[in-house]
Structure 1
Amino acid sequence: MAKPNKKQPTKTVEIFCSKCKQQLFKYRKGGKGSLVKCFKERIVDDYTTTPCYCPNCGIEFARDTLVRGTPAFKMIGGKVTMK
């Protein structure tokens, strides 16, 4: 499979916890679909203390994985929202 594009997308979105509305990431998202995964190299600002866990309420919102050979967070459905 192909690797993600080297050129970073210009559109940034803010990712929040669905339960407590705590901001988790500022992320460079490509495309207009829903948020399924976050490539670690595209995260602009990381507001979490422990990877994949909300710093405020402590729920697990993602899983650490490799997607197309690149480190990424795979989002758990319904745990995060984006603006």
Structure 2
Amino acid sequence: MAQPNKKGPTKTVDIFCKKCNQQLYKYRKGGKGALVKCFKERISEDFTRTPCTCPNCEAVFARDTLIRGAPAFKMIGGKVWFK
């Protein structure tokens, strides 16, 4: 299977919790589609204390998984937004 690009894109997006608008990650996102998954190697800044849990409202926003052999967070629909 194909591995995700190691270098990744240079454009970063800020990912926020939908419930309380707390910033969760700065992420190097490729493409212009919806945010479905976050590869861990592309996260440039992590503002969470425990993985996949909002530090402010304690809402679970993602699941820890492997995608194409690389560790990633699979986002739960409607729990996060980005700009």
Q: TM (normalized to structure 1)? A: 0.98
Equivalent residue pairs, number: 83
Match of 1:13 in 2: 13
Unaligned residue ranges in structure 1 (runs of 5+)? none
Match of 1:37 in 2: 37
Q: How big is the alpha-carbon RMSD for the aligned residues of Structure 1 and Structure 2?
A: 0.5
- Structure 1 stretches of 4+ with a deviation exceeding 6 A read none
Give the aligned residue type for 1:17: C
Give the aligned residue type for 1:69: G
Percent identical among aligned pairs is 77
Q: Give how far 1:31 is off.
A: 0.6
Give the distance between the partners of 1:36 and 1:8, measured in 2 at CA: 16
Unaligned residue ranges in structure 2 (runs of 5+)? none
Match of 1:72 in 2: 72
The CA deviation string for residues 6-26 of structure 1, in whole angstroms up to 9 with x for no partner, is 222011000000000000000
Q: Give how far 1:45 is off.
A: 0.3
